[in-house]
Amino acid sequence: MTDVLAVANQKGGVAKTTTVHSLGVASAELGRRTLVVDLDPQACLTFSLGFDPDALESSLHDVFVRRQGVAEVALPVPGVPGLDLLPATIDLAGSEVHLLTRTGREHVLARALEPVLDNYDLVLIDCPPSLGVLTINGLTAARSVLIPLQCEALSHRGVGQLLETIEDVRAFANSELTVRGVIATMYDDRTKHSRHIFEEVQARYGIPVLQPPVRKSIRFAEAPARGKSILQHAPNSPGAEAYRALAAELLHPGVAAGIPG
């Protein structure tokens, strides 16, 4: 069965897009047929993968308004065999208004992905930094959720709100949704604050913190401008190795954990 993971956190700047990009490339390196879905109108994932969102003729928006199917819109990622992208453009912002008028609006992405799931081993959904209808679509389409968490207080505060939204999705749209775990991003083990947040998340919310944490590195900022992930730009860096290890853990059965109740 295809594993569908939503990567979500309503706080921006916590490395959601970097996590989807890096895990997607790492999964493809492991021989898994992988689709990454850019659900954010800012289209940062699309840009980071080497595409110009302004030059694309079609995107996920066209899927949402029923002009095209996922198979017609998905693009192979250059230089990464086995990795496809369902791209975003700014038009996706209009999809939010359109979805609000649709019956069963929470299920539109799930239904659109269904015909192509057999083509992939893993689908990673990059949710926007909000808890609106696009993110709800991502959570409804997913089997489980990954939560990238910057180890600082403001990022930490949003976890409880996200878990409440996940509970609502479980109650009304996707009863099988689980939380796979937290990925600690931009981690600096030299500071007591980072270590404290890292330890407190698991203790407070009962969510697994996946290992290893992803440490801060300038390499992460350099890679998107080249249309590459850190695994391609700096393949031997600690950040690249961390995402390879996380991908291997996620692809191993039995890691998923339910929401604490």
pLDDT surpasses 80 at 42: yes
pLDDT surpasses 70 at 216: yes
DSSP 8-state code for residue 152: S
CA distance 177 to 158: 19
Of all residues in the chain, what percent carry a pLDDT higher than 70?
A: 90
Cβ contact 168:196 at 8 Å = no
Lowest model confidence (mean pLDDT) among 79-83, 90-94, 224-228: 224-228
pLDDT surpasses 90 at 207: no
3-state secondary structure of 149: strand
The more confidently predicted of residues 68 and 195 is 68
pLDDT surpasses 70 at 154: no
pLDDT for residue 215:
84
pLDDT for residue 259:
45
pLDDT for residue 219:
82
**Across residues 198-208, what is the average pLDDT?**
79
pLDDT classification of 152: cutoffs 50, 70, 90? low
Cβ contact 32:253 at 8 Å = no
pLDDT surpasses 70 at 143: yes
Rg (CA), the chain: 17
Helices assigned H by DSSP within 30-124: 44-48, 60-64, 70-73, 92-100, 108-113
What pLDDT, in 10s, does the model give residues 97-140? 888 888 889 999 999 999 999 999 999 999 999 889 999 999 99
pLDDT surpasses 80 at 157: no
What kind of fold does domain 3-250 have according to CATH?
A: Rossmann fold (3.40.50)
For the chain, the average pLDDT equals 89
What pLDDT, in 10s, does the model give residues 225-250? 788 899 998 899 999 999 999 999 99
pLDDT classification of 257: cutoffs 50, 70, 90? very low
Q: Which residues pair with 187 in a beta bridge?
A: 215
Identify which of 188, 145, 190 has the alpha carbon closest to the alpha carbon of residue 168: 145
pLDDT surpasses 80 at 36: yes
Tokens at 103, concatenated: 């019956």
| Beta carbons within 8 Å of 240's beta carbon, 6+ residues apart | 22, 219, 229, 230, 231, 234
Identify which of 212, 216, 205, 63 has the alpha carbon closest to the alpha carbon of residue 145: 205
Of the CA atoms within 13 Å of residue 240, those in its CB half-sphere come to: 15
